[in-house]
Amino acid sequence: MMQATDKQENPTRSGLVTAPELKRHGFFRNVFSGIKSLLEGMKVTFHYLSHPSTVVTQQYPENRATLKMMERYRALLTMIHDENGLHKCTGCQICHDNCPNASINVVTRSNPVSGKKELDRYIWRMDSCTFCNLCVQVCPFGVLKMDGSFEGAVYDRRLFVFTLNHYAGPAAGLLAKVADPEERKKMIEPRDRYSGPVPLNGQELAGVKALKKAESGCCGGSGGCCSDSQGSQGSKEMK
Amino acid sequence: MSVHITTLDDRVRLRQDDSSPLSTQEYFVNMGPQHPSTHGVLRLVLKLDGETVREVIPVLGYIHRGIEKMGEHQSYRQFVHLSDRLDYLSALINNWAVSMTIEKAANIELNDRIQVIRTLMAELQRIQSHQLWWGVFGMDLGAFTPFLYGFRDREIIADIFEETVGARLTMNYIQPGGLMYDIHPGFVKRVKAFLQYFKPKLAEYETLLSGNVILQERLRGVGRMDGQTALSIGATGPVLRASGVPLDLRKSEAYGSYGKVAFDVVIGKNGDCWDRYWVRLEEMRQSMKIVEQLIDNIPEGKHMVMKPAVKIKLPEGCYYNQVETARGILGVYIVSDGKESPYRIHLRTPNFNNLWAITETAANWRLGDLVAILSSLDVVVPDIDR
């Protein structure tokens, strides 16, 4: 306690608060004050018992319909597709380079029509992702976003590795410049959620069949909607 | 001076004294790595005589992830997210420690808005951390109710973080050059609602646990540690302050916006479990005071002073910086060779030093007191091993 006075180089506007000493009294007073303290504690707990309005427990699976995550909640990386189903990713691989644990693999190809470099598959490994949000931040085109669909549990770990883009082809801006709809169709090739060129991406493992393309197709819209079908499908595969 | 190195094998070899028929037998018991009251994978080898603890030997390494080594292969920006995983209850403050070291080394100037929001976040995190500690402390001493109450109130701060940061535990929010996001429009309202909600709850904490005679008797005078011992083992944070040493970096170094706010440093008298308990409770009050002073006048400005994709390179040299987390001083030491990733990162984590207080304080107390002492030190095991 000798240090209490010195070492305080910057005594701006305030000092110290010292812990109070616990007092001991005579035997009988101790007994009664002890019982009183226990009763006061009981009063607090009985107050909660008798007031159902203070209950804060959420009945989780039952309240799914009303349960809404915060808009910034980071649970599932998704690629933003506009109303025409087009994304803005150019395959520049900045996110790929900035990912701290190599959870992102951006596979590029050259376009069959124009020969330009473009996105083939955007493969994300949910199992090694730490949800640090760096990919979303560094993307110069605002392609990615973190979605709030947190129900990501699956029965097959291969289901954690999936393709985020719905088609291989040029970004929305470039595609809009192509006037001929026939040529536009040729530039685009659809991509399903699984069966990419990366190990574990829906491929065959020892004793486990490869995920079928028809089964593993994404339901199209926001990425999170597949989680239910994934789960049941995964369990089917395991059998 | 010679250094005597012992292995665990040497230390658990018993030298029995059978000279008298009255001499008792000492024996060893492992507490952990899966013991519920060690809060994680901490293993304590206890030398017991009956129920009396003669010696405590902490054995570490069960959750070693090599974060320092991993840091050598990551860019400075990427390393921040690993600091979440040190003391996960002070994730934002750890982010701040790393970011501040990098900013000082790279001469990045921050505006007032960033500093104030960082301070606010750090104080909310401190309250949240102490709430969880309070609940778990009660549970370790046999009272399950505080655990539920602590978690109930912690949830409100978790919601504040979830809204602004997007995460509840591993934040990665405070980054070199500013903050990941600006605060959410609802942030100020939520924080004010929390302050209003939590003040009466803190009084309830006092009635429920602090005033409880059983708790008082179990804490009073147990596990005493004087200031000199605490300093010599390098204990920091509430553990050191409970021993009567008013060392608080928020006061003595006044980083962030701590220089602009009035708050008190909380110290204890005897350095026993009761003081450590009370210091943390009072620190929650002081943190609320800081939040109250800052929440109404968050200055305008940008939330990030540099672009997120810009690579950071530190000039060659060694850099050290430290902040006060909820558990003590977290120091970040970076050796840079001028490249994009550090040559070496060393972390001086508060829990590692605080843990060794158990070897000084627990000797000759009963096994039940050991649980109280360990809980009053408030160790987070991933921070010890990293």
For the stretch B135-160, pLDDT in tens is 889 888 888 888 888 888 898 999 89
The pLDDT value recorded for residue A2 is 41
B324 three-class SS: strand
* Long-range pairs for B81-86: beta carbons < 8 A, 24 or more residues apart: B81/A100, B81/A130, B81/A132, B81/A134, B81/B170, B81/B172, B82/A100, B83/B332, B83/B347, B84/B169, B84/B170, B84/B171, B84/B172, B85/B170, B85/B382, B86/B330, B86/B347, B86/B349, B86/B382, B86/B383, B86/B386
Chain B positions touching A94 (Cβ under 8 A) are 309
Find the residue in B nearest to A10 (Cα). Answer: B252
Contact A14 B145 (CB under 8 A): no
Chain B positions touching A140 (Cβ under 8 A) are 309
- Quick one: pLDDT band at residue B93, thresholds 50, 70, 90? very high
Phi, psi of B187 (to 5 degrees): -60, -50
Size of interface A-B (CB pairs under 8 A): 139
Evaluate if residue A4 carries a pLDDT over 50. no
Helix (H) or strand (E) segment spanning residue B113? helix B112-140
* Mean of the per-residue pLDDT values of chain A: 74
Q: What average pLDDT does the segment A92-105 reach?
A: 86
Least CB–CB distance from B265: residue in A16, A19, A98: A16
The pLDDT value recorded for residue A85 is 81
Q: Strand A144-147 vs strand A167-168: parallel, antiparallel, or unpaired?
A: unpaired
Q: What average pLDDT does the segment A98-122 reach?
A: 84
Evaluate if residue A6 carries a pLDDT over 50. no
Give a yes or no: residue A33 inside a domain: no
Contact B82 A100 (CB under 8 A): yes
CB B188 within 8 A of CB B295: yes
Chain B positions touching A30 (Cβ under 8 A) are 213
Share of chain B above pLDDT 70, in %: 97
CA angle B51, B52, B57 (to 5 degrees): 110
A127 three-class SS: coil
The pLDDT value recorded for residue B127 is 92
Evaluate if residue A203 carries a pLDDT over 60. no
Q: Could you tell me which of B228, B229, B85 has the C-alpha nearest to residue B169?
A: B85
The pLDDT value recorded for residue A3 is 42
The pLDDT value recorded for residue A17 is 80
CB A223 within 8 A of CB A194: no
Give a yes or no: residue A21 inside a domain: no
CATH class of the domain comprising B67-385: mainly alpha
CA angle B267, B294, B297 (to 5 degrees): 165
Helix (H) or strand (E) segment spanning residue B331? strand B328-336
The pLDDT value recorded for residue B14 is 65
Give a yes or no: residue A19 inside a domain: no
| Radius of gyration of chain B from its Cα atoms, rounded to whole angstroms | 22
Contact B267 A18 (CB under 8 A): yes
The pLDDT value recorded for residue A70 is 85
Q: Could you tell me which of B69, B41, B71, B56 has the C-alpha nearest to residue B383?
A: B41
Q: What is the pLDDT of residues A14-52, one digit of tens each?
A: 577 877 777 777 788 888 888 888 888 888 888 888 888
* Mean of the per-residue pLDDT values of chain B: 86
Contact A10 B252 (CB under 8 A): yes
The pLDDT value recorded for residue A217 is 42
Q: What average pLDDT does the segment B255-279 reach?
A: 87
Chain A positions touching B265 (Cβ under 8 A) are 8, 14-17
Give the gap in angstroms from C-alpha B273 to the nearest C-alpha of chain A: 11
Q: What average pLDDT does the segment A97-112 reach?
A: 85
Query: SS3 letters for A61-125?
Result: HHHCCCCCCCCCCCCEEEECCCCCCCCCCCCCCHHHHHCCCCCEEEEEEECCCCCCEEEEEEEEE
Q: What average pLDDT does the segment A55-63 reach?
A: 84
Q: What average pLDDT does the segment A108-133 reach?
A: 84
Give a yes or no: residue A34 inside a domain: no
Range of the domain at A160: 76-238
Q: Is the peptide bond before B33 cis (omega within 30 degrees of 0)?
A: yes
Evaluate if residue A159 carries a pLDDT over 80. no
Contact B268 A18 (CB under 8 A): yes
Residues 6+ apart with CB under 8 A from B43: B30, B31, B32, B33, B58, B59, B60, B62
Q: What average pLDDT does the segment B302-316 reach?
A: 83
Give a yes or no: residue A66 inside a domain: no
What does each C-alpha distance from B355 to A43, A180, B124, B322, B377 come to in angstroms? 36, 70, 24, 19, 7
Give a yes or no: residue A156 inside a domain: yes
Contact A44 B208 (CB under 8 A): yes
The count of other CB atoms within 10 Å of the CB of residue A36 is 12
- Hey, which of A11-20, B26-35, B80-89 has the most confident mean pLDDT? B80-89
Give a yes or no: residue A5 inside a domain: no
CB B75 within 8 A of CB B340: yes
Domain span(s) for CATH 1.10.645.10 in chain B:
67-385
Least CB–CB distance from A1: residue in B159, B167, B227: B227
List, in sequence order, the alpha helices (H) in B141-295.
145-164, 187-205, 213-219, 227-232, 238-242, 249-252, 273-295
CATH number at residue A82: 3.30.70.20
Contact B167 A40 (CB under 8 A): no
Evaluate if residue B306 carries a pLDDT over 80. yes
Domain count, chain A: 1
Give the gap in angstroms from C-alpha B60 to the nearest C-alpha of chain A: 25
Least CB–CB distance from B269: residue in A19, A137, A138: A19
Q: What is the pLDDT of residues B210-243, one digit of tens each?
A: 888 888 888 888 888 888 888 988 899 899 988 8
Question: Six-digit token pair at B33?
Answer: 């790595």
Find the residue in B nearest to A49 (Cα). Answer: B145
Cα(A92)–Cα(B159) distance, rounded to whole angstroms?
Answer: 35
- Quick one: pLDDT band at residue A199, thresholds 50, 70, 90? low
B229 three-class SS: helix
Contact B264 A9 (CB under 8 A): no
Find the residue in A nearest to B153 (Cα). Answer: A56
- Quick one: pLDDT band at residue A72, thresholds 50, 70, 90? confident
- Quick one: pLDDT band at residue B333, thresholds 50, 70, 90? very high
Residues 6+ apart with CB under 8 A from B256: B96, B115, B116, B118, B119, B122, B250
User: Where do we find the tokens 């995550």?
Assistant: A69
Q: What average pLDDT does the segment A93-112 reach?
A: 85
Contact B167 A3 (CB under 8 A): no
The pLDDT value recorded for residue A227 is 39
> Out of A133-137, B13-17, B51-55, B270-274, which region has the weakest mean confidence (pLDDT)?
B13-17
